[in-house]
Amino acid sequence: MTPPEINNLDPQDGIPKFETPSSINNPINNSNNGNGYQTVPNSIGVLVLGILSICFCWCYGIVSIILGIVALVLASAGEKEYNLNPARYSIASYKNLKAGKTCAIIGLSLGGLTILGFIVYFIIVGTFAAGILNAFTH
Residue pLDDT, tens place only, 78-94: 999 999 988 999 999 99
In a domain, 63, yes or no: yes
Residue 132 has pLDDT above 80, yes or no: yes
* Domain-embedded: residue 19: no
User: Is 77 domain-assigned?
Assistant: yes
Task: Tell me the CB-side half-sphere exposure of residue 60, using CA atoms within 13 A.
Answer: 3
Distance in angstroms (rounded) separating the CA atoms of residues 34 and 31: 7
Residue 33 lies in a domain: no
Kindly state whether residue 28 falls inside one of the protein's structural domains.
no
Report how far apart, in Å, the C-alpha atoms of 134 and of each of 22, 84, 116, 126, 130 are.
Answer: 81, 65, 27, 12, 6
Model pTM score: 0.69
Q: What's 89's DSSP letter?
A: B
Question: Does 12 reside within a domain?
Answer: no
Give me the domain span that covers residue 46: 40-137
Residue 118, domain member (yes or no): yes
The total domain count for the chain is 1
What pLDDT does residue 36 have? 61
Please say if the pLDDT value at position 64 is more than 90: yes
Residues 91-115: tens digit of each pLDDT: 999 999 999 999 999 999 999 999 9
Domain presence at residue 31? no
- Residue type for position 17: K
